[in-house]
Every structure is written in C-alpha cells, then in structure tokens.
Chain A
Amino acid sequence: MAATANAPELRTCATTGFRVDESGRRLALAYAVAAVLMLAAGGVMAIFIALQRQGLPISDDWWYRLVASHGATMLLFWLLLFEVAALYWGSTMLLNARMRAPRVAWGVFGAMLLGIALAQWAMFSGNATVMFTAYPPLTAHPLYYLGILLFAGGVLVAICLFFANVVMARRERTYEGSLPLVVYGFAAAAIIGVYSLLTGAAAYLLLFLQSVGVLTEVDPALYRILFWGIGHGAQQVNLAAMVAVWYALIGLTLGGRPVNEGLSRFAFVLLIAFIHLGAVHHLMVDPGLGTSHRIMNTSYLLYLAVLASLIHAFSVPAGIEAAQRERGIGKGLFGWLVRAPWREPGFSSLVLSVVYFGFVAGVSGVLMGTMQLNMLIHNTLFVVGHFHATVVSGTTLAFMGISYYLLPLLARRELVGTRIARWQPYVFAGGVALLTLAMLAAGQMGVPRRVADLGYADAPVGVTQFGEGAVPLMMTLVSVGAILAVVGGVMYVWVMVRTLLVGERTDAPLANLALRFGPTAAPPPAPASELPHNGLKGRWARFEAPGTYAMVLFFLAWFVVLYVVAHFNLAQSWPVG
C-alpha cells in the first residue's frame, strides 16, 4: 500500500472508459482462470457420476469419492474463486481504483491453490470420503480439513482486500457519489461471506482438532448448526453475487439500470440482515430444536429474505424492460422481451438464469424450508435438484454469461468462438433444467441422495421401490440432463480457453460487440416526450414496467399453486408428530 504514491498511472480501458490498475486486472484474471479450470474438473466428475447410474462400471468407493470432490470442486472452488475474481474486478476497475496490497493478494491466491490441492488429494486418495458436509463422527485425514481451512481463510482475506479497495477508492475519490449498484451487490455478498466463512472455519477447525487428537469428540448437533452457517451461508453469497451479476448483465447488454435504485439497494440490505437465519433449513427434522425456533429461523423472520428475492424478481426484469422501452423497442405488454438481444450470450444467460432461478430454484427452496413440508424432502434427491437449480442454472449460468465480457476485458484479448457462445447458454440451461426437474421429481418419489446403488442389490433387507414405476425413467433423465449440461459446460470452457490462448491481443476487446452478437447496438434512445407511453391503456399505461408486473403476478400464482399442492401431498402421508 505504501507504493501507491509512486505507483504507475492507471491505464484507461478503451472499451469501457474505466481506469484499470494492472495488478488488480491480473489478480482478477488469475482467479477467473482458476475458477474456469475448477468448473471443467467438476464437469468431468459430473459425467462419471451420472453415467454410473446408467451402468458405467465404477466401484461404489470411487463413486462416493467423485461425489465428494464434485461437491467441493463446484460449490466451494469454482464459485468462490469466480466470486473473488468478481470482487477484485468490481472493487478496482468499476471504481477506477487501485488493488491494495497486491503481494498479499498473490500470496493468498497461492495458499488457496495449495488448500485445493490438499483437499483434492485427500478426497481422491480415499482419505476424505465424508462428503461436502463432513458430518462428525465421520472423520477424514487432517490435511483435508486443513486444505478447506486454507481455502476458506484465503477467501476471507480476499474479502478484506475487497473492502480495503472500496474504502481507499472512496477516500481517494476515484468515483463520484454512491457505489455503483453492481459493486454494492458485491459488497453485500462480501458481508454475508464474512460471517459464513467464520462459522464454517469454526466448524472445520473443530473437526481438524479432533482429527489430530486434540479434541476427543465434536457434538454432531453443534457441528451441524455451525456447518450450515457456511453450507447455507455460502449459497447466500452465491445468491447475492448472482443478483449483482444479473444487474451487471443488464448494464453490459442493454446499458440499463434498475427502475428504482433505492428499492434494489434496500433488497440487498434485507438479504444481509436476514438470510443467515436460513441455515436452520437443514435442521428442520433434527432432534433438539423447538417449534418456534424452527419457524422463526426457517422463515428468515417473516420471510424477509424471501421478500428481498421477490423485490429483485421484479427489479431485474423491470430493469430490462425499462432499458428496452427507453430505446423505443417493443410496444404492448411483452414486445420489449420479444425484441430483446436473444443472440447475445450475456442477455440469454441473464434471462434464463432469472427465470429458472425464480420458478424452480426459489420456489422449491421455500417449499423445502417450510417446517412441516421438509419432512417429505429432507435428504431426498429433491434437495439435490433444488441446489442444482440455484447454483447451477442460477449462479453458474449468470457467471458464465458475464464471463463473455469479463474474461476478454481482463485478458485484453478478443473473444474467440462467438457462434458457440451464442448457443452455449441455451444448451447449458436446457441440460440443467432437465437434470434438476428430474431430480426434483425423483426426490418426490422418495429417492435418497448420495446413494451409490438405488437397486440396493447388496442390502440384507432388499428395497425394490426405486427400480419400479417412474423412478428409473427419472434417473435416466437426470443422466441425460447431466450430459447435456456438461456439453454446455464444455462449450463455455472451450470459448474461454481459446480466448485466453489464441484470442487476438487488443487494447479494446469487445469494441464491436454489437457486430458480434447481433442487434444489441439498439437504436438511440427515443425523444423524451415519447418515453413514458408504453402503448397500454388505463392503469397499465402509468406503470413503469407493466410487462414485468404481469409476469411477477403469474409467478406468484405458480408459487401459490405449488405451495397448495405440496400441502396436499403432505396430508397424504402417515400421521406423524
């Protein structure tokens, strides 16, 4: 930090006009590249996990190792590495600011890679087949816990550097007024990250101490509440980062902004304040908790974090709608959506991610988190379907979408493979949709998670239920969806790797984005007098985003129907209490 005074001048990015600090750019690029490599590795594991269900001969032992590593590789390594890249990008480039303490940041990067290597070694050598959750009394090799701790500690330091960047940028007045909305969203993710990582570190520290013999025992219930501080909290980091990326994609693809800046920011504050209570979703059918405790926590205190998501569910599409209408694109209720830049991967990823996150991921999550409904869902494949809907078709798809801008900008190279990029979000989203819907359905039929053999061939007391009826069909669809999703993933990785390796070096990457991705260079904004008129009548004419309003009402109707159906199903079960 002492070097700031005589540090070289910042370069001005020819594409965006932002002023770019080289060390921040390189760091963000390194994290993004590492993240993409982790995604590729996790995708390879996904193929084996899925094909084992269709008869690929993999031993049970190895199947469990693959499931364990797939979880850690995707949920922890891919997402958090990419999020650190986004944090560094947001806190330097978007604020025209310098990266603070770059040497520390590089050291942390090295420590995180070491952590990944240790954890992967432990999992693949069979020394840590405890799954992502690592529930005691199952025990793993100490180096597994140490690896995860190193990685999590690294993320924590990276978050501190993010805040240092933001604070110093403010002090040096590198930007005017308030933080850009995207950086504000990243800050929300970072704040949630702090307490998530701290509780997670506490949980893993207990296990580490037990594994080296300092502690004789770790209370399983205490561990579960600590673990879900990160197990759930990290998903909320993903959620906040994803929403921030959604807003970023509105800016990048349409030059849009939220119709009400204040409301969007308020929703991020709600998220920070209440989302961590959701950790108890995972403890809904645990012994040891009272009814009021369960209800208050599982509902994020009156569902105030769900309210935050419902606000974004309006604000994000409304931002798209407003940006389109401002340009005079699309009359009537949905013309703006029909005439949107569907060929641009950033835009298609944005819309697919928002729609799928809302209709499937969000709704299934609230159903799971409803205390009594959880009895029908806990630890079934429904849970797996839910979190693939959130972090794969939601967060991962959004991150892929922004990569098409972020990586060329960070690498200062032209994007290579634009035709593949155009199709990629559709292929990936289609695959994940099939995968998750089939998992949700199989979970409803009782299929348990993380079971290597659903035929229970070696079980003394046989179970034939999962070889009958619709279950085998659902499991086949899971595999087909997984393969399709991996194809989409390969397309993404291919474009990224080619861009990084053979993309033309340039000071102005993406300069003619509009030519590449179809008609995104929209006509110039219409004259002010024509702006408010959306061609609708009555009260709809006064709405800022009438099309969005109609869509969110439809979404709510869908939500209500599923909520009622779920309770109808619950009522069919054996009386229990």
Chain B
Amino acid sequence: MSAAGVTEHGGSPPPGGEPPRSTLTPPPRVWWKRLGPDERRWLIVAFVWCLVLFSGMYVWLGIGEQQTPIESYRITTSDFAAEADTYIADRQVGEQDGVPVVEPIPGEDVYLVASQFQFRPILRLQRDETYRLLVSSTDVQHGLSLQPTNLNFQVLPGYLYVIRVTPDETGEFPLVCNEFCGLGHHVMTGKIIVED
C-alpha cells in the first residue's frame, strides 16, 4: 500500500521510516504484546465487577423480598376467560366505573384479566396479606404495570403468570397497560384497592 496515514492529511509519509499506522491501516505483523500495567489492572477490576454483577442476582434471591415471578402455566384464552368469569361472579362485592370489584380471600388464586382495553376485576386487598394473582390475556399481549410502586410484568395470551404480591401500604393503586395492544392502549387501566 502506497501511503495511508490518513492523519497526514494529504502529506507524504515520513521518508525512510515505516508508513504511519493507525486504526485504519493494517497493524504491525506481530500485534500481540503484553498488557501495560494500567490495562492489566483495569482488566482484572472490570472482570471482578462482572462477577459481582452476576452473583448479585443470586445474592438478591437470598436476601430480597422482591423477586421475579417464575411460576407459569399454559392455558387457552377461552379456558382462562371462563375460569376468571366464574371467579369474579363468586367473589364480586360491587362495581366501580363499570368494572366489577372483587374481594379475594388471602392465599387463594385471584384472577386478573387483561383484555383490550381494560384490566378486570378491580381488586380490593388487605394490607400485608399475600395474594396469588393469576394473570393472563384473552386477546393480545399486554403489560401489567402496578403504580406507583412501579412493578411491571408481561402478559401473554395462552400463558398464565402467577404473581404473588404482598401490598404493604393502603390506598388506591392504578394499573396501566404498558405493552402496546392496539389503538385503545391509552385507555387500558385497572385498579387495586388496599385496605387495612
């Protein structure tokens, strides 16, 4: 190659010596050399940090109260819709904004249906009790976003996701859909009410 040194900006390479080398030209024939002292240190520190990040997830499994739900099942959308309707009919205590309000018994399976474009039913829970929310969709994919505590889960049709929650504060907590699910995505909401 005649020249290269793009750095020379049109100038000629230095007389006699090697043509200038940069990232744009082939490296010297032997390009592996020992790491410098600072590179070696950084490489070690960086790798240790990678191991910390990795083991951090296992550590949190041991010490954290907030864990990614794992329990899930296959279910047809029609089966899920039917089971949820039965459950809502059994436990319904009222209605708000046209949506049934349900008062579950702590520990039991609580159905929460995501569909275009609402979460159903509105749940009235008790503080510091643990509930098994059985979440699925009867149509397209949705995103279950519990606010303002800001817990977010993917909801897939055909898959039942079991999310165990223990509300530790009282009040009204909105659910919003945060997976685009159609032109009514921005009206898809729901609610969890937590009482003492």
| A interface, CB within 8 angstroms of B | 12, 14-19, 60-61, 64, 94, 96, 129-131, 133, 135-138, 175-182, 219-221, 224, 247-248, 250-252, 254-263, 265, 283-291, 294-295, 298-299, 302-304, 306-307, 310-311, 314, 318-319, 366, 370-372, 374-380, 444-446, 448-454, 456, 458-463, 465, 508, 510-514, 521, 539, 542-546, 548-549, 552-553, 556, 559-560, 563, 567, 570-577
Contact = CB atoms under 8 A, between A and B. Distances in A.
Contacts of A318: 38-39
A257 B10 contact: no
Contacts of A377: 152
A255 B20 contact: yes
B143 A255 contact: no
B140 A135 contact: yes
Given A15-B9, A260-B39, A545-B38, A290 B70 contact: yes
A299 B139 contact: no
Contacts of A299: 53-54, 57
Nearest to B162: A287
Interface residues of B, number: 103
B154 A262 contact: no
- Give 5 closest A-B pairs by Cβ, nearest first: A255-B7, A17-B3, A448-B178, A287-B72, A251-B22
Contacts of B70: 289-291
Contacts of A289: 70
B26 interface: yes
A20 to B, nearest CB: 12
Given A64-B180, A451-B185, A251 B23 contact: yes
B148 A575 contact: no
Contact of B153 (A64, A219, A375, A552): A375
9 contacts: A64-B185, A176-B1, A302-B50, A376-B150, A461-B99, A463-B174, A511-B10, A560-B49, A575-B130
A374 B60 CA distance: 13
Interface of B: 1-10, 20-29, 31-33, 35-39, 41-43, 45-47, 49-51, 53-54, 56-58, 60-61, 64-70, 72-73, 96-99, 118, 122, 130, 139-141, 143, 145-154, 156-161, 163-169, 174, 176-183, 185-191
A512 B9 contact: yes
Contact of A575 (B57, B98, B168, B178): B168
Contact of A295 (B26, B58, B72): B58
Contact of A263 (B24, B27, B39, B169): B39
Contacts of B97: 460-462
Contacts of A176: 1, 26
A262 B33 contact: yes
A372 B24 contact: no
A559 B49 contact: yes
Given A15-B10, A461-B118, 10 more contacts: A17-B5, A60-B183, A178-B31, A299-B53, A372-B66, A453-B187, A460-B118, A570-B66, A576-B66, A576-B166
Given A178-B27, A248-B24, A548-B38, A376 B152 contact: yes
A575 B169 CA distance: 11
Nearest to B144: A285
B176 A448 contact: yes
Contacts of B99: 460-461
A137 B115 CA distance: 12
Given A135-B141, A182-B23, A575-B165, A287 B159 contact: yes
Given A175-B26, A262-B32, A370 B53 contact: yes
B118 A137 contact: no
B53 A512 contact: no
Contacts of A379: 143, 145, 152, 154, 178-179
Given A445-B148, A451-B186, A461-B97, A294 B68 contact: yes
Contacts of B183: 60-61, 64, 129
B23 A380 contact: no
Contact of B178 (A14, A366, A380, A462): A380
A29 to B, nearest CB: 18
A514 B9 contact: yes
B23 A258 contact: yes
Contacts of B169: 574
A286 B156 contact: yes
A303 B46 CA distance: 10
B167 to A, nearest CB: 5
A255 B161 contact: no
A307 B47 contact: yes
A418 to B, nearest CB: 14
B62 to A, nearest CB: 12
A450 B180 contact: yes
Contact of B187 (A179, A284, A459, A465): A459
B56 A370 contact: yes
Contacts of A573: 66, 149-151
A355 to B, nearest CB: 17
A446 B148 contact: yes
Given A259-B39, A465-B147, A542-B37, A372 B67 contact: yes
Contacts of B7: 251-252, 254-255
A14 B9 CA distance: 9
B68 A456 contact: no
A248 B51 contact: no
A294 B54 CA distance: 11
Contacts of B56: 370, 563, 567
